């Protein structure tokens, strides 16, 4: 199985980048399953039903979320009815939506799990305990499991990678919007990357207008952040997984820049 995972899609600039690049990525890599993090897709905060529909129509099979899951209140109208979208599984019991699901596409099955870290983020249940419980259930029926760990601290992400080595096919971090350079296949066969990066403006700060972010840092006054509309960059990764064992065989980072990329 070949899995394409796309980093946090940020606002209209990120959606524009996705439309321009995804057809070429599908042609080049022929992924069986495409997963993306969509928690910043609507104006940098949250997601709407229309945007989720747009992503699915472009060919994304599953969406993960994070700490901005609830920022767009429209999500409460459709999250329970959309099995292809998951939010962090370690939100407290009774939270709308689901924390994991199974994606079926192109004759393949991939279980996907969303977790959120606790370091430098709002209080939430233990992601390590949640991972143990959920993957313990999924592993009874599914060999191939992807975990999107939406977390701030690199140490917490790396710890999760080791914690799930041999139990997940891929553990990939999201949230920091900067693609890390530590892609590796761990000893027990889990592909790992601390952060997938983002899809959005490279002329802003993490996809947001840099003037507002600079004003916040230099004055410490309240500032309203807006999505930057400058030239985009696109970050993702492709992982080859052995269907019979769930072990990763290859991990490859993708980085594309608007007006500078050529897809061979």
Contact 170, 189 (CB under 8 A): no
pLDDT tier at 264, thresholds 50, 70, 90: low
Phi, psi (degrees; rounded to nearest 5) at 251: -130, 135
The whole-chain average pLDDT of the chain stands at 96
Residues annotated catalytic, as ranges? 68
CA distances from 152 to 18, 121, 184 (A): 24, 7, 20
DSSP bridge pairs for 108: 105
Report the alpha-carbon distance of residue 76 to residue 58 in Å, rounded: 23
pLDDT tier at 260, thresholds 50, 70, 90: confident
pLDDT for position 249: 98
**What is the crossing angle of helices 49-58 and 11-29, to 10°?**
20
Host H or E run for residue 252: strand 248-257
pLDDT tens-digit map of 193-213: 999 999 999 999 999 999 999
pLDDT tier at 49, thresholds 50, 70, 90: very high
Mean pLDDT along residues 44-58: 97
Mean pLDDT along residues 171-177: 98
Helices (H), the chain: 11-29, 49-58, 127-138, 154-163, 210-219
Report the alpha-carbon distance of residue 71 to residue 48 in Å, rounded: 10
Report the alpha-carbon distance of residue 131 to residue 246 in Å, rounded: 17
CA distances from 232 to 118, 255, 260 (A): 30, 11, 10
- State yes or no: pLDDT of 263 exceeds 80: no
pLDDT for position 261: 77
pLDDT for position 23: 97
For 215, the token pair is 């004003």
- State yes or no: pLDDT of 174 exceeds 90: yes
- State yes or no: pLDDT of 64 exceeds 90: yes
- Whole-model pTM over 0.85: yes
């Amino acid at each position: 199985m070949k899995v394409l995972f796309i980093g946090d899609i940020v606002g209209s600039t990120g959606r524009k980048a996705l439309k321009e690049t995804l057809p070429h990525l599908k042609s080049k890599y022929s992924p069986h399953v495409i997963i993306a993090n969509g928690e910043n897709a609507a104006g940098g905060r949250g997601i709407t039903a229309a945007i989720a529909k747009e992503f699915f129509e472009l060919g994304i099979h599953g969406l993960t979320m994070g700490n901005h899951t609830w920022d767009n209140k429209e999500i409460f109208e459709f999250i329970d009815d959309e099995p292809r979208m998951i939010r962090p599984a370690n939100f407290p019991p009774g939270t709308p939506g689901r924390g994991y699901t199974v994606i079926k596409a192109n004759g393949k099955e991939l279980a996907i799990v969303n977790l959120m870290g606790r370091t430098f983020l709002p209080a939430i249940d233990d992601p390590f305990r949640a991972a143990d419980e959920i993957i313990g259930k999924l592993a009874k029926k599914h060999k191939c499991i992807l975990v999107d760990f939406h977390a701030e601290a690199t140490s917490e992400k790396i710890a999760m990678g080791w914690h799930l080595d041999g139990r997940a096919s891929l553990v990939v971090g999201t949230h920091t919007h900067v693609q890390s350079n530590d892609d590796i296949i761990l000893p027990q066969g889990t592909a790992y990357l601390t952060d997938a990066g983002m899809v959005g403006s490279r002329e802003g700060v993490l996809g947001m207008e840099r003037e507002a972010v600079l004003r916040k840092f230099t004055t410490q006054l309240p500032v309203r952040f807006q999505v930057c509309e400058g030239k985009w960059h696109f970050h993702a990764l492709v992982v080859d997984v052995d269907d019979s064992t769930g072990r990763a065989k290859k991990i490859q980072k993708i980085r594309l820049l608007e007006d500078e990329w050529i897809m061979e």
